[in-house]
């Protein structure tokens, strides 16, 4: 069997991609054809991975930020020996295939993160690289480098146009992420054509200004130049590296190479045939010669890499048993054995002590209690640490080389922050939490959506959750945000009413391993609510009965969340004085409540009781699902105003009086 040429190996990528797009009559052949030579050099000569175990902890992470070129990644995974058979490539973009239009981490072995929204893969990669840096600082010892891998990113012009690329790459330079290496597909083409009319940035100077090493003017079709650039990148350990590769989109296509026509549509049967002839690829669609498969097969080399690492880890475990056990536990995503008992004891103590504090303060109190037992917990805030109250006594900046570093000062980078947090979560070994004001969730919205879609074990903290923040005015006062975030599939949003519910929310978010949580906290103080032990346990169900009349018979139901629960409780007391018996339901998490068995939901909100009032300082439409068209909702369907909080609640009618009036009018 002859050793195939590099170009032939790269052509296997080109034609698997072009053939799959043609079969689907949908997709993006141009990028895989243009980046095939870069991919062959990286995956063939440098990438440290094991196709037999995509979860090997010390593998290099590869991120395809320009995810529309997904067939490049699928071809690489198939050719190198991952569990992605040829039949899956033939089913590209088809229902229930493992080759979706854009890479999906949950669906395809070897895909590290879900990409497609441009720039976010690059930001995820910053999170991967940061995770590697911090784990290495904590666990590596002299003679025992158990955490030692690179993060590689493929990206295109579109990724660099997106603002998130600035947010993430600026921070990556500041943090000195020397094992982050990005290869830029500089082909000057996007969907609308040649980019000279809308993208003329001096990209190399931009990245040099961030503190990156930049390698310019690499011929992206010359394996020797690519290989030398990668070696230069690996030699730089204090700065991330951008390798600028000049390429031709749709490389090899006689009539569509270098043109936008190859970007997002099949080449067409005639052009595909002409491309086969031009690149001297005589093989039918989806047929890969045995020598090409053999040239790509990375299974034996990957198994050897992992076996070598495993042997080194055994020696490390013998020398540092406690560190090795902690590292392994974190990588498995398991919580410390005593964490839940500790959390439950803390929650019980809070219920007994009954502090009246802002829920943002209650959040900080929970972090102070939980974080010392969770070295995997890594926090951060978008320049609002003192307002979000995300710092705790043991917080140490990730910007240095402290082995216990556990806090990222993200600066004013909400979108980049949440996307980086997704990368930290996906890497393994961390449970990240990030934070900003609730109204600024708009800035990070797509990263929050991606958290749920991936799904990523991330915790997104939002404070200043209503008009209750007061004088900052409507630009800073969230109105539609709670409902909007609840509507993200797979999201889990907690809006607690006091310190106890806040602690339960933190416990639930830390426990949740299959997706993100959103924790929403108030600026203003919230009254402690009295509960039995059973009621405390019921908080975790998302919605529960907080108050029933003594005789357990009620005429109507009041539903509240967060700061408005105390309004509902006071309204119930006033109604009782007028002979109207009300049940009060606290619903800190509608997502969790809706997932409860029918018996529980019916027990809390029985169908026979149609007289219902919901109160929340946000848009009202969301609550119709619980109160029906014949119920009432007290909320705000306009933007807020600048004034002290108590005046705003009166002005917008979110008051005990309004709740009582609405209840009596039913």
Reported as a single tens digit per residue, the pLDDT across 227-240 is 999 999 999 999 99
Q: Determine the pLDDT at residue 551.
A: 84
Of 2-11, 233-242, 515-524, 591-600, the one with minimum mean pLDDT is 2-11
Active site residues: 414
Distance of CA 72 to the CA centre of its chain: 23
Reported as a single tens digit per residue, the pLDDT across 470-487 is 999 999 999 999 999 999
Please say whether the beta carbons of 641 and 633 come within 8 A.
no
Overall average pLDDT of the 598-604 stretch: 98
- For the chain, the first-to-last Cα distance in angstroms comes to 84
**Which residues does 416 contact at the CB level (< 8 Å), separation at least 6?**
123, 126, 164, 166, 167, 168, 171, 410
Residue 245 DSSP symbol:
E
C-alpha dist (Å) from residue 613 to 278, 484, 553, 610: 71, 21, 17, 10
Residue 469 DSSP symbol:
G
Overall average pLDDT of the 612-624 stretch: 98
Overall average pLDDT of the 374-390 stretch: 98
pLDDT at 637 over 70: yes
Reported as a single tens digit per residue, the pLDDT across 82-138 is 999 999 999 999 999 999 999 999 999 999 999 999 999 999 999 999 999 999 999
Query: Exposed, middle or buried: residue 128 (CB in 10 Å: 0-12, 13-18, 19+)?
Result: buried
pLDDT at 648 over 90: yes
Reported as a single tens digit per residue, the pLDDT across 433-466 is 999 999 999 999 999 999 999 999 999 999 999 9
Residue 243 DSSP symbol:
E
Residue 144 DSSP symbol:
B
3-state percent breakdown (helix, strand, coil) of the chain, nearest 5: 45, 15, 40
Q: Determine the pLDDT at residue 1.
A: 60
pLDDT at 2 over 90: no
- Parallel, antiparallel, or unpaired for β 525-526 and 517-520? unpaired
pLDDT band at 381 (very low <50, low <70, confident <90, very high): very high
Q: What is the CA radius of gyration of the chain?
A: 28
> Measuring CA to CA, which residue among 114, 165, 159, 128 is closest to residue 490?
114
Question: What mean pLDDT value characterizes the chain?
Answer: 97
Overall average pLDDT of the 358-372 stretch: 98
Helix/strand/coil (H/E/C) assignment for every residue in 358-420: EHHHHHHHHHHHHHHHCCCEEEEECCCHHHHCCCCCCCCECCCCCCCCCEEECCCCHHHHHHH
Overall average pLDDT of the 605-630 stretch: 97
What residues form DSSP beta bridges with 637?
Answer: none
Q: Determine the pLDDT at residue 71.
A: 98
Query: Exposed, middle or buried: residue 19 (CB in 10 Å: 0-12, 13-18, 19+)?
Result: buried
Please say whether the beta carbons of 38 and 247 come within 8 A.
yes
Overall average pLDDT of the 612-621 stretch: 98
Structure tokens at 636: 């705000």
pLDDT at 25 over 90: yes
For the CA atoms of 82, 88, 89, 94, the dihedral, rounded to the nearest 10 degrees, stands at: -140
Residues of the chain with pLDDT > 90, as a percent, come to: 99
Structure tokens at 361: 């303060």
Overall average pLDDT of the 406-425 stretch: 98
pLDDT band at 3 (very low <50, low <70, confident <90, very high): confident
Please say whether the beta carbons of 177 and 212 come within 8 A.
no
**Which residues does 377 contact at the CB level (< 8 Å), separation at least 6?**
367, 370, 371, 406, 430, 431, 432, 433, 510
| Predicted TM-score (pTM) of this structure | 0.98
pLDDT band at 77 (very low <50, low <70, confident <90, very high): very high
Q: Determine the pLDDT at residue 552.
A: 76
Please say whether the beta carbons of 504 and 365 come within 8 A.
no
Helix (H), strand (E) counts: the chain: 27, 20
């Amino acid at each position: 069997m002859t050793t195939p040429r590099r170009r032939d190996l790269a052509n296997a990528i080109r034609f698997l991609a072009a053939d799959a797009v043609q079969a689907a009559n949908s997709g993006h052949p141009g990028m895989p054809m243009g980046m095939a030579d870069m991919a062959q050099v990286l995956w063939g000569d440098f990438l440290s991975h094991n196709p037999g175990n995509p979860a090997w902890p010390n593998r290099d992470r590869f991120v395809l930020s320009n995810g529309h070129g997904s067939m490049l990644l699928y071809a690489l995974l198939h050719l190198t020996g991952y569990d992605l058979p040829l039949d899956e490539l033939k089913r590209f973009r088809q229902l229930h295939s493992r080759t979706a239009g854009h890479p999906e981490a949950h669906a395809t072995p070897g895909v590290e993160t879900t990409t497609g929204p441009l720039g976010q893969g690059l930001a995820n990669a910053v999170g991967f690289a940061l995770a590697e840096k911090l784990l290495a600082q904590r666990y590596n010892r002299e003679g025992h480098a158990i955490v030692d891998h690179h993060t590689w990113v493929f990206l295109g012009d579109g990724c660099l146009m997106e603002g998130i690329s600035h947010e993430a790459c600026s921070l990556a330079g500041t943090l000195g992420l020397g094992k982050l290496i990005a290869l830029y597909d500089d082909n000057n083409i996007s969907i609308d054509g040649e980019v000279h009319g809308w993208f003329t940035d001096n990209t190399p100077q931009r990245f040099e200004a961030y503190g990156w090493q930049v390698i310019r003017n690499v011929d992206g079709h010359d394996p020797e130049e690519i290989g030398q650039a990668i070696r230069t990148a690996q030699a730089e350990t204090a700065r991330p590296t951008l390798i600028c590769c000049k390429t031709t989109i749709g490389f090899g296509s006689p009539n569509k190479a270098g043109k936008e026509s190859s970007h997002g549509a099949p080449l067409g049967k005639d052009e595909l045939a002409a491309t086969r002839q031009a690149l001297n690829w005589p093989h039918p669609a989806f047929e890969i010669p045995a020598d090409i498969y053999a040239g790509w097969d990375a299974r034996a080399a990957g198994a050897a890499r992992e076996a070598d690492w495993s042997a080194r880890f055994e020696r490390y475990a013998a020398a540092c048993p406690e560190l090795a056990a902690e590292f392994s536990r974190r990588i498995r995503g398991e919580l410390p054995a005593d964490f839940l008992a500790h959390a439950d004891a803390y929650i019980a103590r809070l219920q007994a002590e009954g502090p009246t504090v802002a829920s943002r303060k209650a959040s900080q109190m929970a972090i102070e209690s939980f974080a010392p037992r969770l070295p995997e917990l890594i926090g951060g805030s978008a320049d609002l640490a003192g307002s979000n109250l995300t710092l705790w006594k043991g917080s140490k900046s990730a910007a240095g080389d402290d082995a216990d570093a556990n806090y990222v000062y993200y600066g004013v980078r909400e979108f980049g922050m949440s996307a980086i947090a997704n990368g930290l979560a996906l890497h393994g070994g961390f449970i990240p939490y990030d934070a900003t004001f609730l109204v600024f969730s708009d800035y990070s919205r797509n990263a929050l959506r991606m958290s749920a879609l991936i799904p990523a074990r991330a915790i997104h903290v939002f404070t200043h959750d209503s008009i209750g923040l007061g004088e900052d005015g409507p630009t800073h006062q969230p109105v539609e945000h709670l409902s909007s975030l609840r509507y993200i599939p797979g999201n889990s949003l907690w809006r607690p009413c006091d310190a106890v519910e806040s602690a339960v929310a933190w416990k639930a978010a830390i426990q949740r391993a299959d997706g993100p949580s959103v924790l929403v906290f108030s600026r203003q103080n919230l009254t402690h609510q009295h509960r039995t032990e059973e009621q405390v346990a019921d908080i975790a169900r998302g919605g529960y009965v907080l108050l029933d009349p003594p005789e357990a018979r009620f005429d109507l139901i009041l539903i509240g969340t967060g700061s408005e629960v105390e309004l509902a409780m006071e309204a119930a007391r006033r109604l009782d004085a007028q002979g109207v018996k009300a049940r009060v339901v606290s619903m800190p998490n509608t997502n969790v409540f809706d997932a409860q068995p029918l018996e529980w939901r019916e027990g809390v909100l029985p169908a026979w009781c149609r007289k219902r009032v919901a109160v929340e300082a946000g848009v009202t439409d969301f609550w119709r699902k619980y109160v029906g068209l014949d119920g009432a909702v007290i909320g705000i369907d306009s933007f807020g105003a600048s004034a002290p909080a108590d005046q705003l609640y009166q002005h917008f009618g979110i008051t005990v009086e309004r709740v009582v009036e609405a209840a009596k009018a039913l």
